[in-house]
Amino acid sequence: MVIPWFRWTVLLAAPVLLSPLLFVFDDSAPRCAYVVLIMAVYWTLELLPLPVTSLLPVVLFPLLGIASTNDTAVVYMKGTNMMYLGSLMIALAVEESGLHRRVALKAMLLAGTSPTRIMLGFMLPTAFLSMWISNGATAAMMVPILEAVLAELGLSIKEKTMMMLAVAYSANIGGTGTIIGTPPNLILMEFMTQYTDHPLNFGSWMVFTIPSVLMNLLILWVVLQLYFMRPNPKQLFKKAKVDPESGVTKVIQESYDGLGAMTFHEIGVLGLFSTLVIIWFMRKPGFLPGWAEALQWTTASGSTVSIGSATPTILIVMLLFIIPANPAKDPSGPALLQWDAVQRKFPWGIILLMGGGFALAEGAKVSCLTHQIGAALEGLGHLPPVLILLVLCLVTSIISQIASNTATTSMLVPVVLAMAQSLHINPAYLALGVTLTASHAFMLPVSTPPNAIVFSAGGLAIKDMAGVGAILNILCISTTFLCLHTYAGVMFDLDTVPGWANVTVTKTNMCL
């Protein structure tokens, strides 16, 4: 939390100290840079609530002659934001039905009763659920269950710390597994829409990220044990005997039994959610024509009316509000998702936060700031791409420890894409590395919502989180490098600059 006097000082001083950008240069690019830098300071230090800072372009872009109010405001609800809005509502329906709790408890029952196997039993369902629903919501659900289990285990303080951090870090890692898992993934996808026929889609993203998620979870499981328990490495993979009469098993079994039989509410939500995942996969599967191409319209003028992922997402959301949760007993009763639940629990701020990032990128584009940044970075062309990526990932990792990963991605990805164009590097190569690194923030409670939730539960010291978090940051960057330079290089042709990456070159001629 920023102390009051510092908050007020920086809140007022930042616009004043950066004001020479408004008067020294007679160009819209420096004026846009003024807005970008103010938002970077406000976002990083959280001088205002993050969604409030995200609204600054609506105020400053028109006043500074960068873009009109209408042109700025419309960017806040792009198709990507609409898709995320819908996916968050579907995730909320999963939570309201209790389906996520059933999945988590069932996975834990299968894990075993030794501390390390219990930890793995928490890590896997946490990571899996974080691929589909908010990682913060996943952590908030798992922590009370973990606390009940810890009360039965009688572990040392270090072992309890290890278990708590396992939940937070698994949620961070799992969020990278799908496009909808965490906002940075969708932010990257939105910025990639400027490239026609780029290779990233729901299916290719999962094919790329699932191996890295599994590797990072294994690394997390091993590192936490070595850091907090320092066991004989041979003991890490030793199979423990499961005692069905243990207190731990009883706690989990009682919680699972308390759910009762699977209800129509859960089945209905699961069915609709599974249908949507299949639709997302089949929109543009790559190995055969997708439904988006088959259903594509052409107007009288010859332009194409494309169907994005937001369209089926919102259709499924509407069905959630239509289908009753218990049609057999109460067909006119509550639906699978109720609007009052959306009003109470929906994280509207994240939609504004993403929109603010898109507005900044649009302003940088129309003011030619993006082009000027790219031109300024051309001097780095003599460096090998792998070194450029390493520097970018390290910078991203440092920033994301103290700033929201959503804000970090919104600030850095447009710069990275401009850099890739200037240096003739595949944009996906740099952007994927930066995006994944932004979500691998393990060192501080403020780094991610799961970190904050686990830390607020009590019993954790920042030195423990920072110590093991620094090790995990480095190792996760290493796995990202490994993936990008092995199978991902073949999947996305990362060693070359493909034709789709050159499409935007002609669009910057007005900035020359």
105-127 mean pLDDT = 83
Tokens, residue 479: 């796995």
Between CA 424 and CA 348 the distance in angstroms is: 38
Tokens, residue 231: 């066991």
331 pLDDT more than 90:
no
pLDDT at 2: 53
Query: What is the DSSP secondary structure assignment for residue 346, as one 8-state letter?
Result: -
Percent of all residues in the chain with a pLDDT value above 70, rounded to a whole number: 93
- 335, β-bridge pairs: 324
The reported pTM is 0.84
242 pLDDT more than 50:
no
Tokens, residue 203: 């299916």
pLDDT at 321: 96
- 297, β-bridge pairs: 305
Query: What is the DSSP secondary structure assignment for residue 134, as one 8-state letter?
Result: -
Query: What's the Rg (C-alpha) of the chain?
Result: 24
105-125 mean pLDDT = 82
Residues 6 or more apart whose CB falls under 8 angstroms from that of 162 comprise 119, 224, 225, 227, 228, 229
pLDDT at 18: 92
